[in-house]
Structure 1
Amino acid sequence: MSTQKFNDERLLNILLAPQISEKATFVAEKNEQVIFRVASDATKPEVKAAVEKLFNVTVDSVQISNVKGKQKRFGRYMGSRKDWKKAYVCLAPGQEINFAASEQG
């Protein structure tokens, strides 16, 4: 694996949470991809190394998209939620990440 280039402490802070939604479930079943919320300064190689290190799987590719925060009202003032980054991680054929099993082990 290519995790030797990156600091282990940095890799543990890259992945924030799995993105669980109806769209994410559909993408996971159709394309063998998993969607993660990642740190806003994360790069594709860092996300790949972090997923390979934490879940012991082989990653084919990573696509990253920046998500703009929604405009919201706070009383009579307009504000906005924070922008965040989403990573679509494409796993090698036959690989899968089971979040229910990883919590118990």
Structure 2
Amino acid sequence: MRDPHDVIIRPIVTEASMDAMADKKYTFVVDKRSNKTEIKNAVEQVFGVKVAQVNTMNMLGKKKRMGANIGKRADWKKAIVTLTEDSKTIEYFEGI
């Protein structure tokens, strides 16, 4: 069993993900090797909430140019976690 903090890398903060928080949907960058069960257990342990559903997507890294050279950003995995109706919300903007 891996450490839950190794599964969840960071939250994704975009306009669309902030709007989804009203529906108790939270978006995270997760480890590429993690599966839905590991993500669910990690979110429940780290934030102390009840997870109803986990949707995952493998995101391809963008191609970037620096002059004549072409490189590629790393591929990554995104997880959208939906909480149950009776669960408390996740607060990761306490200091703002």
TM-score, normalized by the shorter chain, greater than 0.5: yes
Question: 1:43 offset after TM fit, Å?
Answer: 0.5
1:37 matched residue in structure 2 = 29
Distance 2:45 2:56 in 1: 19
**1:46 matches 2:38:** yes
2:20 matched residue in structure 1 = 27
Runs of 5+ in structure 2 lacking a partner? none
Q: Provide the identity percentage.
A: 32
Runs of 5+ in structure 1 lacking a partner? 1-6
**1:77 matches 2:69:** yes
TM-score where L is the length of structure 2: 0.89
Question: 1:12 offset after TM fit, Å?
Answer: 2.1
TM-score where L is the length of structure 1: 0.82
Q: Counting helix residues as a fraction of each chain, which structure ranks higher?
A: 1
Aligned length: 94
Question: 1:17 offset after TM fit, Å?
Answer: 0.3
